[in-house]
Structure 1
Amino acid sequence: MAEPLRIALAGLGTVGAGVIRLIETNAELIARRAGRPITITAISARDRTKKRGVDLTPYAWEDDMVVMGERGDVDVVVELVGGSDGPALACARTTIEAGKALVTANKAMIAHHGLELAAKAEAAKVALKFEAAVAGGIPVIKGLREGGAANAFERVYGILNGTCNFILSQMEDTGRDFADVLAEAQARGYAEADPTFDVEGIDAAHKLSILAAIAFGAKIDFNSVDTAGISRLRAADIAQADSLGYVIRLIGMAEPGIAADGSPRLFQRVQPHLVPFDHPLAHVDGATNAVVAEGNFSGRLLFQGAGAGDGPTASAVVADLIDIARGEIGAPFSVPVAELEEMPAADTGHRTGRAYIRFIVADRPGVLAEITAAMRDAGVSIESLIQKGRSEAEGEVMVSMVTHEGPESAVSEALRLLDGAPSLARPPLVLHILGD
């Protein structure tokens, strides 16, 4: 059998320990499938004394993870530290510049610095792989880059954050409000002590920008992702959606388009959506992730599974290592960096669809007339309008409506007309309805 592929691990948290367990448990199987053994040479983490449930004594310890990329006995560095900059980025740059392959689960680093790292990897003729950065153990990057490589993708969308999906599923099942369920998610380890990246949609936006680059051959552009999270949702919104035949899911969606001057554009948005009961994503519960890719010849492809956790994420990391052991490098974003297109953000005002709009208003006569007049003046056609009960604040009620299909710009104009209206106790909430 050929010489082993020697790896170094930077980061020994849940996933890092999972990688060690997987490589040790399935060593013989991995060697057969990779064509040679995959062995761990060196490791690094912030705390050398922390108990991690695995034996670390066989491996050389490096206090400085950046040094690992320069070791003569290392072929690949696996970066599992996280963070878009700092030690993770320094480790990644040093590794590639030293002519070593890099495997990472760091979606923030790839979203912010992926083009730079990919260009360095191409110049050094080494692999840069990041399957574990999107949707944990689901092989969606491999599915787009390899299995769907012959297709022109028309749309990519899905549930990209397990924390948000767990919270929304619990709100559906129990009728409890967001803050209460978030506290439970934190207690059970599904949400961080500071959950901002998850619940405000930033984590999903990182992942979406990576998928969009691979699917559409676009230069990755995280800053153009229109991002909103789930923290403004109420139990009443969940109940209202259910009565209308929908569930609420945080959906990341990307589509290519063409501007009026013929130049390419890219629509990228992360936002809670109303999802019809009969749509496959409506049945994705708990901390599960799911991605839908629509190819012009393949049709709708659905990738679904565990989006996080030590086992699934470690599985994705080691799958990348097996590819490298086989000599598979390839362009990190499917095509060389020089061939990726500049695709500025698309104008969303021309998009059409249906929307759910929720208002918290003063409980007094004339409020509904004021809202419907603004909708009329903006050209928004109302399919249904519902007012049910009082909110927790005395004197306030929730009014919600579903619009007929129309331009998003009309809804924006209606909200502009209502901006500052004394009858609105809180800013309106707009959720788009996921179409076929």
Structure 2
Amino acid sequence: MNLYNIKHPEQQVNFAQAVRQGLGKDQGLFFPATIPQLSNIDELLALPLVERSQKILRALIGDEIPADKLNAMVKNAFTFPAPVAKVAENIYALELFHGPTLAFKDFGGRFMAQALATVRGDGKITILTATSGDTGAAVAHAFYGLENIEVVILYPKGKISPLQEKLFCTLGGNIRTVAINADFDACQTLVKQAFDDEELRQAIGLNSANSINISRLLAQVCYYFEAAAQLTAEQRQNLVVSVPSGNFGNLTAGLIAKTLGLPIKRFIASTNANDTVPRYLQTGEWQPNATVATLSNAMDVSRPNNWPRVEELFKRNGWSLNELGSGALNDAETETALKAQYAQGYLCEPHGAIAYQVLKDQLQEGETGLFLCTAHPAKFKESVERILGIELPLPDALDKHNKLPLLSDEMDNDFATLRAYLLK
């Protein structure tokens, strides 16, 4: 598999290099030089999740990783289902929260851990990543206990749910977690500064597990096929997919699936009040505002890292950005949407509620709508209980971590302090 740096196309790497490096020169994102057109979509959709995903990732990655190793990577990573549930007439939910940390990030995090273990080579590796909620848990659990791999996770203090925090800040061992006194964008900036520091990168074998890492992104492509496989052929012909969007890796993966040949009519990027992309699509002006805290905290991102990949795909495929739907909900509208879902008999959480409502508002006659449910409602227990007036039992995966003490360090938004922390 050949990939190039979007900022510096002359920098070209293979899959193993892209996985090990994470980011390219000048913080550029790696992107596949070619994405094949699959001719056997119906045959693929008839296969089980793991077998189908092995074939999709083989088509994307090529022969660089021996077939038996790649098949094992997929089998070890995708050990849980991604069911589709009917929510309303012509509207379905793709439930991506049935993995070990109850969030969609389990797909990408677990596959990246398998990929890195396969291509790592010698020497120490330090995974440095920022999380706005769910990435931290998925990465921490995927890499926990792996030899010679240290993980450092930055998150905005007080701006993720208490249960999200407990899920990845109670492990210890090779997992270090740092609460930064700032917002998520500041955490991302610290990660980028670390990658720009060549001396630091070499000293600790720096890598990232954000959706900037190509292995995570490619893994996420697979569950779009899994969603389509659970719909009828007729429903697939006019399928509209609404993606709750923060860093825009999830939408990028969906667009790669469409490029491969999956029949998706159009996508909708659904955001909260951090609506940089919806405003950009309406006005043509890229004007990020200061990030604001919302009920849907995993989407509290004003400068989405993956947006250059979205634009690159549209440009390469000859698509117009006018074809990409978008919408944004504030917290009050999110609460209303969550109540509407619950009244129809479907229990969701703020991120999925936004994706549902924006989809419902934009779905046209004859279309089938699918929205992504990215996290288990219990991960947002406090807000879901308050909004819906119910009591949510904690799943075992959350309950056991909820009883453990937090092991996080706290740090101001200062790169020199972080640098010293990483080197010690």
TM bucket, shorter chain: under 0.3
Larger proportion of helix? 2
- Report the structure number with the largest CA radius of gyration: 1
- The higher-RCO structure (CA 8 Å, 6+ apart) is 2
With normalisation by structure 2, the TM-score equals 0.26
Larger proportion of strand? 1
